Amino acid sequence: MPLSRRDFVHRSALTGAGVALAGAVDVLATAPGALAVSRGEDDRHSEPHAPGYGPLIDDPAGLLALPAGFSYRIVTRTGTTTLDSGEFTPSNHDGTAAFAGERGATLLVNNHELGGPRAKWPYPVPLAEDLVYDPAAAGGCTVVEVPRHWQDRHHADTVSEWVGIAGTSTNCAGGATPWGTWLTCEETEDRAGSNGMTKDHGYVFEVDPHDRRANRHPRPVKALGRYAHEAVVVDPKRGHLYLTEDAAGPNGLLYRWTPPHGFHHGRGRLATLDDNAGVLQAFRCFDSGGRFVDDLSRATRIGTVYGVDWVDVPDRDARTTSVRKQFTEGQVTRARKLEGMWWADGGTYVVSSFAREESPVQHDGAVWFYDPSRRTLTLKVLLGVNAEPEKDGAFDGPDNITVSPHGGLIIAEDGNGLQHLFGAVDDGRTYPLARNELNIGTEAEPEYSEFTGVTFSPDGGTLFANIQTPGIMLAITGPWRRQNGKDC
């Protein structure tokens, strides 16, 4: 049953008309340039220790700056490492998830964000037999197996890599499932006959890292819609899937897919669905006064809480009109650059990477939390516009995200200027964790690629992350400790 504006207004009145609602939730913020909730009177008398692991130390190898005590190893590198079949590792690493493999190994499914025809890319995903959707497309994902003792540099075991799916396009963030598979998302709306493609694109595909045979003859999960997909998460309790759309003109949407009655999730089950199975809906937000919210950038205060309703998508396959354009003004809520998501704490964290002139209010990044039990969306992180992105110290453009087993969030930066991995703890502070030092520009005009695919190993001891261009997967280890705000 949808949460009506009247229900939400009534709840807000019982809890203090929005102000108490905002104060009742844990809050994340960022600094400098943040919009944050003030601390209480008791907090002003004792300054907590700074979160994080201290300042970043320049890397003599010119690749990755880390705090003292931390180190990294390169897992895969485009043009250097090779697949088991002999081809070079594909380029443009993006969304990644880690799964427990056999004998203590870690299996990593790695998206490769390669759009358009294959001839455009020196290192496309190889067209492995029976694993190809569209032979004209360059993207897909690979599976990387990291042995248990690989971090020991004296150990003889080596990393293996093979194709999970090929012939897909612009594979971006994606998401892991509770049943141990990977959902790879195409961030494109290319149709057959356009941009060199021979099949329609803009779908979600399921990839099983544990069973190569299960990935043969890939079939898109059309029930989840055709649009510029970014990320996806699964509600393990209710069975809903939530999906983000990275698009503009107009801005993209947050979607929810409800499975059909009697459907049970499991490996390969999504691919058996009819194209119109279940219900695909887009979100519609309203404030504590019952007023419709047209764009998430309207929220300028950490702790803002919106009620959420869901509106049916008329044509999920977008046969004549893009899905986000099928709604009239006032029907749905929009947001620019809806990017990474991660399921934790009984709901999903959702990133809006930035907002510019296409949005009502400008910002340099926001993280929201959707609570399905309360049907509310709460603003957790808000980055003010970063006026000097070429200088260290501020962050902008959050993208891929994970919830850390050591507390708080770890966020991959895709902004202007310098690029970081940074953490955010639950009392409103952030800290740097890594900085990309690989200059792919010139000395006069330096350029640094975004971070992607941030995810922890199943045991929480290794943080994996990618530098998208040229395509480098890194394994970061160090003296992890609990990051929970006041007790850091």
Q: Please state which of the ranges 55-69, 265-279, 287-301, 473-487 shows the lowest mean pLDDT.
A: 473-487
CB-based contact 278:265 (threshold 8 Å):
no
* pLDDT value of residue 125: 98
pLDDT digits over 16-43, tens only? 322 222 222 333 333 333 333 333 334 4
pLDDT digits over 163-186, tens only? 999 999 999 999 999 999 999 999
Distance CA 476, CA 176 (A): 21
Phi/psi region, residue 134 (left: phi>0; alpha: psi -120 to 50; beta: rest), is: beta
CB-based contact 326:312 (threshold 8 Å):
no
- Which domains does the chain show, CATH number per domain? 5-40+48-477 (2.120.10.30)
Does the pTM exceed 0.85? Answer: yes
Following DSSP, what letter does each residue of 69-130 receive, concatenated? T-EEEEEEETTTSB-TTSSBPPS-EEEEEEEE-GGG-EEEEEEE---SBGGG-SSPPP--TT
Residue 198 in this model has a pLDDT that exceeds 90: yes
* pLDDT value of residue 157: 73
CB-based contact 414:422 (threshold 8 Å):
no
Q: 276 by DSSP, 3-state: which?
A: coil
- Mean model confidence pLDDT for the chain: 89
Tokens of 227: 């649009």
483's CB contacts (< 8 A; 6+ apart) are: 51, 52, 404, 406, 407, 408, 423, 425, 431
* pLDDT value of residue 48: 60
pLDDT digits over 387-416, tens only? 888 888 788 889 999 999 999 999 999 988
Distance CA 114, CA 171 (A): 7
Distance CA 483, CA 488 (A): 5
Distance CA 8, CA 6 (A): 5
Residue 105 in this model has a pLDDT that exceeds 50: yes
Instruction: Give the residue-averaged pLDDT of 373-396.
Output: 88
Distance CA 450, CA 397 (A): 9
Residue 85 in this model has a pLDDT that exceeds 80: yes
Residue 380 in this model has a pLDDT that exceeds 60: yes
DSSP state of 325: G
Q: If you count them, how many residues does the chain have?
A: 488
Distance CA 102, CA 88 (A): 25
* pLDDT value of residue 43: 42
Distance CA 66, CA 7 (A): 48
Radius of gyration of the chain (CA): 22
DSSP state of 10: H
**Angle, vertex CA 446, rays to CA 443 and CA 449, nearest 5:** 140
Instruction: Give the residue-averaged pLDDT of 250-261.
Output: 97
* pLDDT value of residue 355: 85
Q: Which residues pair with 99 in a beta bridge?
A: 107
